[in-house]
Amino acid sequence: MNLIDKLRWRYATKKFDPDRSVSAQDLECLKEAVRLSVSSFGIQPYKVIIIENKEIKKALVEASMGQQQVADASHLFVFCNYTRDFDRQVDDYIEKIIEAQGKGSTEVRNYGESIKASLRKKSPEERERWAEKQTYLALNNLLVACAELKIDACPMEGFDKEVYNQMLGLDEQGLNANLIAPIGYRSKDDKAMSRKKIRKSKEELFEMA
């Protein structure tokens, strides 16, 4: 299957097979795909918690509007945006550039200062919203990589973030659970797999200028 066929194959899985697990090898591929995601300035102001512990997943179902996919999936990806320490994240990023690319530290550090100045122009709420948006880019990489490997996934925004933050100890880390995505393999009883995919036509969606 080429990429388009695989994107046609994927859908938001409503019922997972709880007896099937994603292999360690495939999980590493998914992690690498997420790691390589684009982000504003390349900073990646987020962290991804991957939950495979069955008891933790079960405990999170109630906070996920009762959506059983959270418990039945092989793994639960929780995309968490940072809520503070943005200057430190920029500094860490700049150090990685210097180490990886061997560029002159003065030039790169000046670039880092310009990034921090840009972020400081935003209010705390705007900085957090900016960081939240980056998690969507990372989530998309996960969904495409899952389709490539024929692993099912279901992106979700419908969950209680405050409960997730408390249960996973995210507040203490300056993190906020923004998106979740159970991944695994569809159950043969999932009626959603037979639904025709509905999307706008190319004529509706695109306009050439």
State how far the Cα of 178 lies from the Cα of 41, in Å rounded to an integer: 20
Residue type, 207: E
Handedness of CA 156, 160, 161, 167 (dihedral sign): negative
State how far the Cα of 88 lies from the Cα of 195, in Å rounded to an integer: 47
Report pLDDT digits (tens) over 174-204.
999 999 999 999 999 999 999 999 999 999 9
For residue 103, the model assigns a pLDDT of 67
For residue 101, the model assigns a pLDDT of 85
Residue labelled with tokens 């880092």: 112
Report pLDDT digits (tens) over 51-69.
999 999 999 999 999 999 9
Q: How many domains does the chain have?
A: 1
Question: Which parts of the chain sit beneath pLDDT 50?
Answer: none
For residue 105, the model assigns a pLDDT of 81
- Domain of 143 in residue numbering reads as 3-205
**How long, in residues, is the chain?**
209
Question: CATH number, domain at 56?
Answer: 3.40.109.10
Q: What is the pTM of this model?
A: 0.95
- Find the helix or strand (DSSP H, E) in which 183 lies: strand 175-184
